[in-house]
Amino acid sequence: METFDLSRYRNIVFFTGAGMSAESGVPTYRGKGGIWGSYSIEEYACQQAFDRNPEKVLGFHEKRRRSVLDCEPHEGHRVIARMPDARVVTQNIDGMHQRAGSQEVIELHGSLWRLRCDNCGHNKEDLGRSYEARRCACGSWLRPDIIWFGDMLDPLVMSRAAEAIGNCDLFISIGTSGTVWPAAGFPDLARKSGACCIEINPEPSGATRYDRVVEGAAGEVLPKLFGSC
Ligand code: APR
């Protein structure tokens, strides 16, 4: 595989989904071994589930934090991190891009490493294997600061992502099934702004909107395409 010539591009966006972290050992959501194959969204990934049983939902997310901490970013994450001018827009909540060294990551779906209180508005970083506290000082349950099914995306985060993608000239989508909106519309947004669009995925989405589809795993393809950049 030939190295991709980046010299023509000024505004590069890497748009990543769960497949970006798959080779690190973090399971994807759909497909073989996917999280939603073993855990139901209704029981673990929506506000109603949290309201019904906060301990159970917090326990699930704490388990996910532990499994992510047992994983390490791979060379693909590091290749992206070595391109400081490129923007990273991710659907992932695992913090792997940051652990690899990416400084500015637009996290569409929030982060496993933050908790918030919907009662008093307190929002705090919490990086350990176990939560420092499950309740806020105000007495309410803290919830993971992530987007569950049925939640609205943070409009500020969404507008930063749309601005980055709407102004990019190279858009590289990696490891997403492209099934969850509004992120599923991002390749079209990039295309409309005239960007060259590349997809990297061992099982490409089949969308026709990409100029180039590289059928392969992120950890193998990224170093080959961009490793010497
Ligand atoms: N390299 C690149 N892509 C990979 C790899 C790999 N090593 N392994 C798997 N993939 C691809 C799969 O082929 C699939 O297209 O990653 C994609 C994972 O898709 P999903 O599990 O649907 O993950 P994602 O698209 O990120 O899901 C979006 O849905 O469940 C919600 O909030 C959750 O952020 C998540 C959102």
* 25-77 pLDDT, tens digit each: 999 999 889 999 999 999 999 999 999 999 999 999 999 999 999 999 999 99
CATH number of 27-70+111-146: 3.30.1600.10
Is 1-25+73-109+153-229's fold the same as 27-70+111-146's?
Answer: no
* % of the chain with per-residue pLDDT over 90: 90
Residue 78 has pLDDT above 80, yes or no: yes
Name the superfamily (CATH) of residues 1-25+73-109+153-229. TPP-binding domain (3.40.50.1220)
Q: How confident is the model at residue 227 (pLDDT cuts 50, 70, 90)?
A: confident
Closest residue by CA, ligand 1 atom 28: 180
Phi-psi bin for 128: left (phi > 0), alpha (psi -120 to 50), beta? beta
Quickly state the pLDDT bin for 229 (edges 50, 70, 90): low
Long-range contacts, stretch 181-190, CB < 8 angstroms, 24+ apart: 182/153, 182/158, 183/15, 183/17, 183/91, 183/108, 186/15, 186/89, 186/161, 187/15, 189/162, 189/165, 190/13, 190/15, 190/165, 190/166
Pocket of ligand 1 (CB under 6 A): 17-19, 22-23, 28-31, 34, 91, 109, 174-177, 179-180, 200-203, 217-218
pLDDT-derived band at 206, boundaries 50, 70, 90: confident
Boundaries of every domain in the chain: 1-25+73-109+153-229, 27-70+111-146
Residue 141: Cβ within 10 Å count:
17
Active site residue 109: yes
pTM: 0.96
Residue 182, pLDDT score: 86
